[in-house]
């Protein structure tokens, strides 16, 4: 599991994003959908980028939903899981 990072999205929503690196298969759909939030590292696993706050909340959600193995976990600022349900 990657360290969770807190972002304020471009539309003002505060979210915590974490990637389960054991689940990640490097499909890169998250990168295609939200390239300012996600990239692949040298192990071909998803990571969050410092520019993640430039993405909208919907883009981050769409990226998480696009992951074929649901490796992206999104929580609200109170720690309640938004995705996956």
Q: Token digits for 41?
A: 């590292």
CATH number of the domain residue 79 falls in: 3.30.70.20
In sequence order, what are the beta bridge partners of 45? none
CA atoms within 13 A on the CB side of 25: 7
* Domain range enclosing 31: 5-83
3-class secondary-structure state, position 75? strand
Q: What global pTM score does this model have?
A: 0.94
Tell me: pLDDT of 78 over 90: yes
Alpha helices in 1-85 (DSSP H): 29-33, 57-66
Over residues 2-27, the pLDDT tens digits come to 789 999 999 999 999 999 999 999 99
Mean pLDDT of 48-57: 97
- Count of structural domains, the chain: 1
In sequence order, what are the beta bridge partners of 47? 39
């Amino acid at each position: 599991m990657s360290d969770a990072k807190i972002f304020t999205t471009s539309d003002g929503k505060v979210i915590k994003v974490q990637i389960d690196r054991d689940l990640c298969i490097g499909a890169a759909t998250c990168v295609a959908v939200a390239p300012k939030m996600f990239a692949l590292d040298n192990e071909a696993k998803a990571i969050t980028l410092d520019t993640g706050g430039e993405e909208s909340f919907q883009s981050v959600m769409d990226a998480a939903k696009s992951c074929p193995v649901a490796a992206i976990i999104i929580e609200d600022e109170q720690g309640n899981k938004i995705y996956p349900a």
